Amino acid sequence: MTIFGKKQVVKEKIAEAARRIKESACTLAFTGAGISVESGIPPFRGKHGLWNKYDPRVLELDYFLDHGEECWYYIREIFYDFFGKAQPNPAHLALARLEKAGLLACIVTQNIDNLHQRAGSQTVFEFHGNSSRLVCLVCQASFPVEKVDLQKIPPRCPHDHSILKPDFIFFGEGIPPDAYHQAFEHAARCEVCLIVGSTGEVVPASYVPVTAKQNGAFVIEINPEASKFTHSVTDLHLKGKAGEVMQALEREIF
């Protein structure tokens, strides 16, 4: 196909995605680590993934409870020194504007970086929790991270001196019940499901787009690579980076 031909196909795909979103009475966005890559946060998997540099054991609950100080040393580096500097990118901002315009019902995110909320999105179901809070595993008190001194690790609860854990789920922990129910309730009734930057390898999160598809939703996927969704549930693959594609989509919608 000629370059012109390819450009034409991309334009047509963007136009179809925009039309589907405008006509949809309920659109759900399902986001993964890929949407935050242009904010400077690497995904977990793949060539530049975090697990090539760090041992995922630091996010196993049993290991964390026995090796609090060691785990917190890495957790602080990954999720607070590094994630903390990231800013929302054009893809986060575009989703927030779609919601404001009444064209997006909710975001179900696997991310824990708080960037959707910082971009202005209101209805965000955090499937895996959020790193901006710390929680006491004994008394369940929750603390905004900026109120905790992370120079002293492991941070401890001021009430009972127990170790504080980031309020995102560690390997083997359950999904926060409210986020789980809201995500599947919306998935069952959405007309369009927009997947942005997810491999689809993490369960049960990956069942959200599958549930949407099984209930008749049209599935649009934005990802520079093929994912587990691409050849199973995706109806329209917009191949490219989240920020660039979302900006093109926004230009077509508004």
CB contact at 8 A, 150 and 132: no
Residue number of the CB closest to ligand NAD reads 34
Return the residue of 14, 21, 37, 212 that touches ligand NAD, per CB under 6 A. Answer: 37
Question: N- to C-terminal Cα distance for the chain?
Answer: 30
* Closest distance of CB 243 from ligand NAD, Å: 7
Residue choice 24, 117, 121, 198 for contact with ligand NAD (CB under 6 A)? 198
191's CB contacts (< 8 A; 6+ apart) are 23, 24, 25, 26, 27, 216, 217, 218
128 counts as catalytic: yes
d(CA 152, CA 198) in angstroms, rounded, equals 34
Q: Of the residues 128, 161, 181, 237, which is catalytic?
A: 128
32 binds ligand NAD (CB under 6 A): yes
Among 18, 28, 29, 41, binds ligand NAD (CB under 6 A): 41
Give 189's contacts (C-beta < 8 A, 6+ positions apart): 26, 215
Which stretch in 9-17, 109-117, 145-153, 154-162 sits in contact with ligand NAD by CB under 6 A?
A: 109-117
| Residue in 237, 205, 202, 213 with CA at minimum distance from that of residue 223 | 237
Q: Looking at this protein, which amino acid is placed at residue 99?
A: E
Q: Is 128 in the site for ligand NAD (CB under 6 A)?
A: yes
Which residues is 196 bridged to in the sheet? 31, 222
Task: Check residue 130 for interaction with ligand NAD (CB under 6 A).
Answer: no
The yes or no reply on residue 209 touching ligand NAD (CB under 6 A) is: no
* Closer residue to ligand NAD, CB minimum distance, 47 or 147: 47
Binding status of residue 75 toward ligand NAD by CB under 6 A: no
Which DSSP string corresponds to 185-205?
HHHHH-SEEEEES--S-STTT
Using CB under 6 A, list all residues that contact ligand NAD: 32-34, 36-38, 41, 43-45, 50, 110-113, 128, 197-199, 201-202, 222-225, 227, 241-242
Catalytic residues: 128
